[in-house]
């Protein structure tokens, strides 16, 4: 029996990255032998054995990696006669098909190390097509390793295009699609995942709501080459750069879905696109079983993102709008979620061509004001002898009063800094 470290652990080690988990491949053994050695069997679709002490995963070398019904996993044949080369040949990418034996020797029959050095994502063999999820996996690796300079081999893109065109991606279960997508959203360059899916012809199958934005002109007449689809991916990139969490990144992805549903003109006004975005966001979330907190933030962002930009000008009349924003987004009870919404709003403003580090002071200001206003509680009014429903009114009035003051101060400070000095 031979044991090899395989897959992501070897790849990440060779790239000098931290290794998250170690998976092992066992060649020349039967399930019975592993069980007799004290390994425990886990996994429903294909057996994986846990090491008696380390609890790390050991899989037997396989001859086939067919996806199961509904593509929930692999069905495979395996046995003591299956060679290391044959198992590695049926893996997705050459960089994932390198094995390290117990003495530290590398086994790399398909040129994975060379592809790592050349920064290329290349499929190992035509067996790649056995699992349509691999189209998404490649897009995710492209996103994850984008900052290292990885590109996609032409022949792999061509194979992915054939797989997307065959219609088999539609059979992927929502859980598998969302799991890959969530991992991709967590990378440094989540926009690359969607770009690669688009190049592979898979975006329209998996994310038709996003695909629909390409070709929809943005309001920026001076950058006609930036359509709403490109803008959306720029916003997603910016949301990641700003440290937005997964909900924020998902909201960035969905915030302009409604623009595909507004009247299509040469330079459309996109009136009511926030409200129109609700239906496609709901459709996407229902189809992929997107977690509730992601869905909620995406809906809030779609409905309210236009208001965030309108607050750029300091004027006391904005007090009502700000209170409306805090109320509708439930910022009083969920400030951490509101903070993500603020990041998303900043990404929306800055995720465009020529943003050139444009400041977004609204984020700090709104955050600070929310913190101050949350401290206005019923207690102070009770002490003043105010009772019952009047307390709620008093809190609202006090919040409004303070906001008007702050907005006025802000307007005054801008006015005094731009006013010509008396000596001039």
Ligand X SMILES: Nc1ccn([C@@H]2O[C@H](COP(=O)(O)OP(=O)(O)OP(=O)(O)O)[C@@H](O)[C@H]2O)c(=O)n1
Q: Does 101 count as an annotated binding residue? A: no
Q: Does 424 count as an annotated binding residue? A: no
> Which residues are CB-contacts of 415 (< 8 A; sequence separation ≥ 6)?
none
Closest CA to 120 of 137, 140, 103, 141: 141
CA atoms within 13 A on the CB side of 125: 14
* Distance in Å, CB of 146 to ligand X, minimum: 14
Helix (H, G, I), strand (E, B) or coil at 12: helix
Q: Does 140 count as an annotated binding residue? A: yes
Q: Does 149 count as an annotated binding residue? A: no
Q: Which is nearer to ligand X, 48 or 323 (CB)?
A: 48
For residue 215 the two structure tokens come to 């070709």
Closest CA to 276 of 294, 302, 301: 302
Q: Does 21 count as an annotated binding residue? A: yes
Burial letters 72-104, b for 16+ CB under 10 A, else e: ebbebebeeebebebbbbbbbbbbbbbbbeeee
* Strand 2-6 with 120-121, pairing: unpaired
In the sheet that 40-42 helps form, which strands lie side by side, from edge to edge? 40-42, 48-50, 57-60, 23-27, 2-6, 99-101, 106-107
d(CA 62, CA 65): 7
Q: Which is nearer to ligand X, 8 or 316 (CB)?
A: 8
For residue 250 the two structure tokens come to 């998902």
Residue number closest to ligand X, CB atom:
8
How far CA 39 is from CA of 23, 44, 191, 286, 401, in Å, comes to: 14, 16, 41, 39, 68
Are 255 and 359 contacting, i.e. CB atoms less than 8 angstroms apart? no
Residue with token string 């906001």 = 403
* Distance in Å, CB of 43 to ligand X, minimum: 13
What are the DSSP E strand ranges found in 215-374? none
* Distance in Å, CB of 46 to ligand X, minimum: 11
Q: Which is nearer to ligand X, 6 or 213 (CB)?
A: 6
Q: Which is nearer to ligand X, 22 or 363 (CB)?
A: 22
Q: Which is nearer to ligand X, 96 or 191 (CB)?
A: 96
* Distance in Å, CB of 1 to ligand X, minimum: 20
* Distance in Å, CB of 44 to ligand X, minimum: 16
Q: Does 295 count as an annotated binding residue? A: no
* Distance in Å, CB of 185 to ligand X, minimum: 13
Q: Which is nearer to ligand X, 92 or 256 (CB)?
A: 92
Q: Which is nearer to ligand X, 133 or 230 (CB)?
A: 133
Closest CA to 242 of 353, 365, 370, 341: 341
* Distance in Å, CB of 32 to ligand X, minimum: 24
Q: Which is nearer to ligand X, 100 or 137 (CB)?
A: 137
* Distance in Å, CB of 122 to ligand X, minimum: 13
d(CA 68, CA 45): 8
Q: Does 188 count as an annotated binding residue? A: no
Helix (H, G, I), strand (E, B) or coil at 301: helix
Per CB under 6 A, residues contacting ligand X are 7-8, 20, 23, 91-92, 96-97, 131, 133-134, 137
Binding-site entries for Mg(2+)? 21, 23
Binding-site entries for CTP? 8, 11, 91, 137, 140
Binding-site entries for ATP? 8, 11, 91, 137, 140
């Amino acid at each position: 029996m031979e044991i090899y470290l395989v897959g992501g652990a070897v790849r990440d080690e060779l790239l000098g990255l931290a290794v998250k988990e170690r998976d092992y491949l066992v060649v020349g053994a039967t399930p019975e032998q592993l069980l007799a050695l004290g390994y425990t069997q886990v996994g429903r679709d294909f057996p994986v054995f846990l090491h008696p002490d380390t609890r790390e995963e050991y899989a037997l070398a396989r001859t086939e990696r067919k996806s199961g019904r509904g593509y929930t996993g692999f069905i495979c044949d395996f046995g003591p006669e299956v060679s290391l080369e044959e198992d590695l040949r049926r893996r997705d990418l050459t960089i994932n098909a390198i094995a390290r034996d117990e003495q530290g020797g590398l086994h790399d029959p398909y040129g994975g190390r060379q592809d790592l050095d050349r920064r290329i994502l290349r499929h190992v063999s035509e067996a790649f097509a056995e699992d349509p999820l691999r189209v998404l996996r490649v897009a995710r690796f492209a996103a994850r390793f984008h900052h290292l300079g990885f590109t996609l081999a032409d022949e792999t893109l061509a194979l992915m295009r054939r797989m997307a065109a065959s219609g088999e991606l539609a059979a992927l279960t929502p859980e598998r699609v969302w799991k890959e997508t969530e991992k991709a959203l967590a990378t440094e360059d989540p926009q690359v995942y969607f770009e690669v899916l688009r190049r592979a012809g898979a975006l329209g199958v998996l994310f038709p709501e996003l695909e629909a934005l390409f070709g929809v002109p943005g309001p920026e007449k001076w950058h006609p080459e930036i359509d709403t689809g490109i803008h959306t991916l720029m916003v997603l990139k910016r949301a990641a750069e700003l440290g937005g969490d997964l909900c924020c990144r998902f909201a960035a992805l969905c915030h302009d879905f409604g623009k595909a549903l507004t009247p299509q003109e040469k330079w459309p006004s996109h009136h009511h696109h926030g409200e129109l975005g609700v239906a496609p966001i709901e459709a996407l979330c229902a189809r992929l079983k997107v977690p509730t907190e992601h869905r909620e933030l995406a809906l809030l962002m779609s409905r309210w993102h236009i208001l965030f930009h309108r607050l750029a000008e300091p004027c006391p009349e904005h007090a009502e709008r700000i209170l409306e924003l805090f109320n509708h987004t439930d910022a009083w009870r969920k400030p951490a979620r509101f903070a993500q919404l603020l990041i998303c709003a900043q990404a929306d403003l800055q995720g465009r061509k020529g943003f050139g580090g444009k400041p977004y002071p609204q984020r700090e200001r709104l955050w600070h004001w929310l913190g101050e206003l949350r401290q206005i509680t019923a207690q102070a009014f009770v002490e003043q002898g105010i009772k019952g429903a009047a307390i709620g009114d008093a809190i609202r009035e006090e919040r409004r009063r303070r906001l008007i003051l702050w907005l006025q101060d802000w307007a005054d400070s801008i006015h005094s800094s731009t006013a010509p000095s008396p000596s001039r």
